[in-house]
Amino acid sequence: MVNVHNYTLQGSTKSCARSSLRILRPVKHTLGNDMNIELRKQLGDIPKEEHTKQQIALSDLKNHYVHSINVIDSSHLFHEWGTYNCFEYALRLTNSSDYVEIKKQHVFANSEFIQYLIINNLISKAQDNGLIIYFNDEQKPTHAGIFENHRVLSKWGTGLVFDHEIFEAPFSYGSQYRIYETVESATMIEYFFDYAELHGIKFYYE
């Protein structure tokens, strides 16, 4: 536990309380016999399409493969300041104006930020619902989503959000995953502020 203090982002009038949290290690899983490799390889082409064409591509794919993937309304994720990636969506940062202010300075939640959370024990293991993170063979985070009721809500690239089973994701996202407890948005943005400071973002403290 650390003392709570306020901050002001350099060049901004915004302020927020900061705190830390003690957390445990997660459980790792491997996508085994349930994994449809050919389907997953074909799914890899969908994030390459413009977001307006991704639903059409998914429908066409259903003519050749059985899957339960659905497109979720993602219009709210396209803003005047740009689009969001899968990590930003899964970590529930997409509605934070403070986060956007930092992102404008070219520091954002990516695979490196996920590694930062894991290495510093800032996210903990979960048994059921929570945050799901996919890993490649080198144990690098490649993708993330929201895991609820044995299904995943995840943003593929900077395009649409899809509702899918764990193994119904592009093959390039890897064959291992871990499930972590959901962290409240206010706490997650605090973790991101610390990360941003390490990457050169300046804050004024009060």
Strand 70-72, strand 130-135: pairing:
unpaired
The answer to the question of residue 191 being in a domain is yes
Q: Is it the case that residue 3 has pLDDT exceeding 70? A: no
Give residue 13's pLDDT band: very low, low, confident or very high (50, 70, 90).
Answer: very low
Q: Is it the case that residue 166 has pLDDT exceeding 80? A: yes
Number of domains present in the structure of the chain: 1
Residue 73's pLDDT is 75
64-97 confidence digits (pLDDT tens)? 999 999 998 766 655 655 678 999 999 999 888 8
The answer to the question of residue 132 being in a domain is yes
99-131 confidence digits (pLDDT tens)? 999 998 999 999 999 999 999 999 998 878 999
Residue 17's pLDDT is 43
Give residue 203's pLDDT band: very low, low, confident or very high (50, 70, 90).
Answer: confident
Q: Is it the case that residue 27 has pLDDT exceeding 60? A: no
CA distance 190 to 42: 38
pTM of the model: 0.81
Q: How many angstroms separate the Cα of 78 from the Cα of each of 56, 96, 117, 158?
A: 19, 14, 26, 9
The answer to the question of residue 1 being in a domain is no
The range of the structural domain enclosing residue 32 comes to: 6-205
Average pLDDT over residues 42-55: 90
